[in-house]
Amino acid sequence: MSGPSRSACALRTAACGLRKDSKAQCEQIQVLDLSRFGHRIGVVPPHVLKEIDRALRQQLAL
């Protein structure tokens, strides 16, 4: 995975419990119904959640 952009936050396997490195793309905001989700595959730790919050605020100009 290449370096994340300002609007993407890295979700590393070691920190989030995912099978492979991923990213939260904060420029692609969508609403999803919880019934579409199955079992939990990972957890976003607080320090990464702060990065996501910061990127979302930037995208939404808040």
Which ranges in the chain belong to alpha helices (H)? 13-16, 46-59
Distance CA 33, CA 40 (A): 15
Q: What per-residue confidence (pLDDT) applies to 5?
A: 55
Q: What per-residue confidence (pLDDT) applies to 19?
A: 92
Q: What number of CA atoms fall less than 13 Å from residue 23's CA on the CB side?
A: 15
Two tokens, residue 15: 């920190």
Q: What per-residue confidence (pLDDT) applies to 2?
A: 53
Q: What is the mean pLDDT of residues 18-43?
A: 91
Distance CA 14, CA 35 (A): 27
Residue % of the chain over a pLDDT of 70: 92
Q: What per-residue confidence (pLDDT) applies to 11?
A: 94
The pTM of the full predicted model, rounded to 2 decimals, is 0.76
pLDDT of residue 4 exceeding 70, the answer is: no
Q: What per-residue confidence (pLDDT) applies to 48?
A: 93
